[in-house]
């Protein structure tokens, strides 16, 4: 998805991008927070 967003943004389906952000970002955020906490930062 990244390459299409960067190099071919005209054909990107914004609804798919928004759904991905809504569905995947919270999980990624939790994982990043856990990693930061584990490393004591």
Residue 6's domain spans which residues?
Answer: 2-38
Which residues, including other chains, have CB under 8 Å from residue 6's CB and lie 6 or more apart? none
d(CA 18, CA 20): 5
pLDDT score of 8: 77
| Predicted TM-score of the model (pTM) | 0.56
With 90 as the cut, is the pLDDT of residue 31 above it?
Answer: yes
30 near 22, Cβ under 8 Å?
no
Q: Token pair of 3, please?
A: 């390459």
Number of domains in the chain: 1
d(CA 41, CA 35): 9
For range 10-39, the mean pLDDT: 92
């Amino acid at each position: 998805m990244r390459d299409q967003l960067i190099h071919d943004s005209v054909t990107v389906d914004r609804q798919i991008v928004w759904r991905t952000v809504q569905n995947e970002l919270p999980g990624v955020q939790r994982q990043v927070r856990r990693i930061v906490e584990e490393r004591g930062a």
